[in-house]
Structure 1
Amino acid sequence: MKKVVINTALICIFFLSICFLIYRFCKVKQMKKDYGVFIGTDNIDKIKGYNVVVVEPASIDVSGVEFLHKTNEKVYAYLDIGSLENYRPYFNEFKEKTLGLYENWEDEYWMDVSDIAWQKLIVDKLGRDIVDKGFDGFFIDNCDVYYNYPTEEIFNGLSSILQGLRSLNMTKKYKIDIIINGGDTFVSRCIENKTATELFDGVNQECVFTDIDFENKTYKEKNESDIEYFKEYLANIKKHIPEVYLIEYGANSNLIKEIENYCNENGFHWYNARGLDLK
């Protein structure tokens, strides 16, 4: 009788252990990934299970945004305010307002963001379209135009565009976030001017730990001095801006552990992209 009781108990323990493992497996499967950037893909069927995901809005309609929201918490729209790509439908209208070629990007030009017509395009047309489609935020690119052309006109032009995008929040019941990608010179001045929190909610920095070899189309580890610069920069950002994101390119397993530890310690989000095309 005693042996039967012991065997029954062992069977129960075994059964409970299996149930626990199944529960843990299902829970892990249901956990969302933190952050993903997919502005180079038009196959939204593969974009699933993220807390925050960034996509190119040009080819996505309202139903597409609704589809993404079914499996992703927040969906942000990529919006380039500081440069002009030659494949955009408005390229011919604004090509005479460009300032110069964008190094390493042969189809792109730095834009004169002080141009009023450009500001209206970004805010009243592109920004409005993003809001109307139901996106949760703007992922703003190429504020680095201020680093390349550090004039008051360029700084004020960027600020005016961001203020205009902020005003679009008034038409929605929920707040639409603004994340600045790169633009450390512009962002740092906004912090100095105490206007940062008025203009944006977070900062994304590419290549804190990794670097891009454009000539050979490969990725490598960044040199220590540059890593330290960005760590100091992001430490300052953290004091003023609530959300910090990183995009790294082709980080290997050892570097992944280092980045994970750094982001966990600081409460940052990060994405390890396989390539510059961000597919």
Structure 2
Amino acid sequence: MHRRPLIAALAIVIAMSATACSLVPSTEPDVPDNTDAVATVPPSPTTELRQPRLSGASSWAMPLGAELDSDTIARLAGLGLVVVDGETTTASQVAEIQAGGATVLGYLSVGTIEPWRSWYPEMKTYQLEKWPEWDEYYADVSQEGFRSILMMQVAPAILGKGFDGLFLDNVDMIREHPAQAQGMERVLEGMSALVHQDGGVIAMQNGEDVIASMLPYIDVWNREDASFIYDSESETYRPVTDVEHTAALGALKRMRLLGILTLTLDYPPPGDAAATNEAMSASANAGAIPWTADIGLSQLD
């Protein structure tokens, strides 16, 4: 893959200030913001996917906590879409999973700085406050230096392993850190240019209430906790509230109407087959590809 010509262009993108114009193309359907109105949308997709290569995907997984041994790789290879860690997964492992027909995306957190990453020494100067639940720090995405490391060093290194694209996490940190919204939009713009030049895939998750300006840059959107959530305070797996459930399903339908492939990741009580089936059925009826897991993302079953 030849990305060198784009690196210079990315340097310009990184330093650009956000424009005031709307980023949603006028050709997109006019989807109502009202949750009740959205609930009337038929669950079957009504537009073609932005990324045609994903049209055959009907299953997915993101086992970030699982060991990628030969058995796990063999199982992942049979899925439509797979997300694995962008740094620790090797090029040969990526190729093995792809050999079965799966589209493989590299996981990369763009809204936090993780102390265990090889790039941490360069990034730690851009730390905001700690996110104790995950033992990482929110990132000062507004800083050009942070964006430069992310888009000109980290992302190209991951893509160089042969990944089909990137799964960008923690974009929704801008909800609690609105001052980071402009910088985050620059990240999505730059990542989109980097990945899409080779026909790759950009995915992200959550944040439907704060990411409207970034939707033109993505091909896939995952919604966690559409039906079941892991409650970190009580350390239990439980259903989300009816209001949360309705809002999540409505967001999934809106995204799908924009031609975005939609996914869900739910956390039903481990071993509860009825809860698992309930979560998967609700997601499928909203036009999304479901996956359920433990909070550590360590199990494929």
| Pair 1:225 & 2:243 matched | yes
2:161 to 107, 129, 133: 133
Question: 2: CA distance between counterparts of 1:238 and 1:256?
Answer: 23
Please give the per-residue CA displacement for 1:235-272, whole angstroms capped at 9, x wherever unaligned: 32222242111001135322333333323333211111
Specify whether residues 96 and 267 from structure 1 end up closer, same or farther in structure 2 by C-alpha distance, changes over 3 A only: same
Secondary structure, counterpart of 1:186 in structure 2: coil
Which is further off, 141-150 or 162-171?
162-171
TM-aligned CA deviation for residue 33 of structure 1: 7.0
1:214 to 221, 232, 239: 232
In the alignment, what sits opposite 1:265?
285
Please give the per-residue CA displacement for 1:108-145, whole angstroms capped at 9, x wherever unaligned: 11101111121112211121122221111211100121
Q: Which runs of 5+ in 2 are unaligned?
A: 1-56
Structure (1 or 2) with the greater helix fraction: 1
The one-letter amino acid paired with 1:179 is A
In the alignment, what sits opposite 1:95?
124
Q: Which runs of 5+ in 1 are unaligned?
A: 1-31
TM-aligned CA deviation for residue 92 of structure 1: 3.2
Specify whether residues 44 and 79 from structure 1 end up closer, same or farther in structure 2 by C-alpha distance, changes over 3 A only: farther
Specify whether residues 108 and 117 from structure 1 end up closer, same or farther in structure 2 by C-alpha distance, changes over 3 A only: same
In the alignment, what sits opposite 1:201?
219
CA contact (8 A) 1:206 1:246 kept: yes
| Pair 1:183 & 2:201 matched | no
| Pair 1:34 & 2:59 matched | yes
TM-aligned CA deviation for residue 77 of structure 1: 0.7
Question: 1: CA distance between counterparts of 2:242 and 2:190?
Answer: 38
Q: Which has the larger radius of gyration?
A: 1
TM-aligned CA deviation for residue 186 of structure 1: 2.8
CA contact (8 A) 2:58 2:289 kept: no
Please give the per-residue CA displacement for 1:5-24, whole angstroms capped at 9, x wherever unaligned: xxxxxxxxxxxxxxxxxxxx
Q: Within 5 A, what are the aligned runs for 1:14-29?
A: none
The one-letter amino acid paired with 2:181 is F
- Residues paired across the two proteins, number: 238
Which is further off, 48-57 or 177-186?
177-186
Please give the per-residue CA displacement for 1:19-61, whole angstroms capped at 9, x wherever unaligned: xxxxxxxxxxxxx971111112342421322111110021223
CA contact (8 A) 2:266 2:292 kept: yes
In the alignment, what sits opposite 2:181?
155
Question: 2: CA distance between counterparts of 1:225 and 1:267?
Answer: 19
Please give the per-residue CA displacement for 1:63-97, whole angstroms capped at 9, x wherever unaligned: 22111112342111101000011111232332232
Specify whether residues 69 and 139 from structure 1 end up closer, same or farther in structure 2 by C-alpha distance, changes over 3 A only: same
Specify whether residues 241 and 149 from structure 1 end up closer, same or farther in structure 2 by C-alpha distance, changes over 3 A only: farther
Specify whether residues 60 and 261 from structure 1 end up closer, same or farther in structure 2 by C-alpha distance, changes over 3 A only: closer
The one-letter amino acid paired with 2:148 is K
Question: 2: CA distance between counterparts of 1:35 and 1:204?
Answer: 11
Over aligned residue pairs, what C-alpha RMSD do you find? 2.2
Question: 1: CA distance between counterparts of 2:80 and 2:130?
Answer: 35
